[in-house]
Amino acid sequence: MNLNRSEAIDLATQILESDDVSTAELVVCPSFVWLESVSRILAGSTIGVGAQDCWTEQSGAYTGQVSADMLGSFCQYVLVGHSERRRDAGETSALVGQKARAALDAEITPIICVGELLETRSKGDAVSFVAEQLRTAFAEIPEDLTTRPVVAYEPIWAIGTGMAASAHDAQEMARGIRTELRALCGESADSMRVLYGGSVNEENAGSIASSADVDGFLVGGASLAASSFLAIAQAC
């Protein structure tokens, strides 16, 4: 929940016009109210647009909600299950899976967010906790669609705290996620993308990106400046 309209347009324009060419696939996820404005700026470019959330139904009496069908005019991606949605709106992994299914039905790629509290990690239960989040969410997705989502690991204890996971932690969890995806989706899981999010910045992006099972980043605060966002993209 950052940036006014002119700031959002300016940020998208800076990213679009930057000379910092990256081979990484770039997607920006502005607030709902700026989706149309930003999508117009980026139309025809290689930069994708995503929404920060969607609802489980495509239409109906759900005041205040936004359906994946509505987003289809602007977006190729949508975040579902971000830790702040789980925290502030009490979203369960089953609900996250239902949102992912709705996105897939609307031909939008869901980015399914998973992650654990510091207490869970301290107990040594981080990998198993995240695996259970995945199993519950993917149970809501038809078998023939299970390889289409992107998975983003965002340790809750690292979001907005400056406490990023180490490259070792990120790789350990990404490998655990990949193992669970293989159990859920078969060998095709090897081609699914696993992202890391949580206080990622210009300084730590390179080491985390070198991890064998980390395919990219879900960038938080560092995405609010084109220079830092593009520097992270270069690290990929």
Asked if 58 contacts 105 with a C-beta cutoff of 8 angstroms, the reply is yes
Task: Based on the residue annotation, tell me whether 143 is a catalytic residue of this protein.
Answer: no
Which of 198, 200, 187, 185 lies closest to 149, judged by CA? 185
User: Which 8-state DSSP code applies to residue 161?
Assistant: T
* Cross-strand partners of 80: 112
Task: Name the phi and psi angles at 11, rounded to 5.
Answer: -65, -45
Helix (H, G, I), strand (E, B) or coil at 129: helix
Question: 183: number of CA atoms within 13 Å, CB side?
Answer: 12
Catalytic residue, from 82, 84, 116, 180: name it: 82
Task: Based on the residue annotation, tell me whether 82 is a catalytic residue of this protein.
Answer: yes
Asked if 110 contacts 68 with a C-beta cutoff of 8 angstroms, the reply is no
Catalytic residue, from 143, 154, 168, 187: name it: 154
- Positions annotated as catalytic residues are 82, 154
